[in-house]
Amino acid sequence: MMKVFIINGGQVFAHSGGEFNNTLTNWTVQFLEKNNIEYKVSNINDDYDAFEEVENFKWADIIIYHTPIWWFQVPNRLKKYIDDVFTAGHNNGIFKSDGRSKVNPAINYGTGGLMHGKKYMVTTSWNAPDTAFTLEGEFFDQTSVDDGILFGFHKMNQFVALERIDGFHFHDLEKNVTQERIDNYQIEYSKHLENTFL
């Protein structure tokens, strides 16, 4: 049976209550339960033991990160979670080294991961509209979320030998959010999960 580990990165901070990422996590859980897929969930707002979280990574076949984007980065508590957990996973199932040898340190950087055969998916939620990434002259210079803001995030997962599967990005969830748009996103995301898992 497939095993999925969900990390809810919707940090509670300032005006953000993490509500959309809680909703998104619930959508994911409902889908997994409906399809009899085993899962575990961690919320980065909760206290955690880094070594227990490492065991969740080792247990899972697929890791799903749900994160908002704040100031073009993941929230600070999600970054701390990753720093803590990946460090606890050194020589403990996540990575062994950076992959290089002292004989020839110029090559093989990023090949010391231990998570071979496992996959990850990331969703992001934005105030920015999708047109900020696609229209000529708009802010992100026609650079996609995955090729731009998430480039380092994807390399981080590649470093520990996780294989990327297509994620999903939710846009314009602050200035232009409506119930109709949320409902449509739920339908689209459910189809994405079906295409990914079934």
pLDDT at 62: 98
Domains of the chain: 3-197 (3.40.50.360)
Rg (CA), the chain: 17
pTM: 0.97
**H or E element at residue 55:** helix 50-59
In the predicted structure, residue 16 carries a pLDDT above the cut 90: no
List, as own/partner pairs, every contact residues 109-115 make where C-beta atoms lie below 8 angstroms and the sequence separation is at least 24, other chains included: 110/155, 110/158, 110/159, 112/159, 113/158, 113/159, 113/160, 113/161, 113/162, 114/89, 114/160, 114/161, 115/57, 115/160, 115/161, 115/162
For residue 16, give the amino acid letter.
S
Q: Which helix (H) or strand (E) holds 23?
A: helix 19-34
Quick: pLDDT tens for 100-109: 999 999 999 9
Residue 180, both tokens:
């109709």
Distance CA 47, CA 99 (A): 32
Dump pLDDT digits (tens) for 123-179. Answer: 999 999 999 999 999 999 999 999 999 999 999 999 999 999 999 999 999 999 999
Task: Give the model's confidence band at 17: pLDDT under 50 very low, under 70 low, under 90 confident, else very high.
Answer: confident
Q: Which residues contact 144 (CB under 8 A, 6 or more apart)?
A: 133
What pLDDT was estimated at residue 160? 98
Rounded Cα distance, 122 and 154, in Å: 9
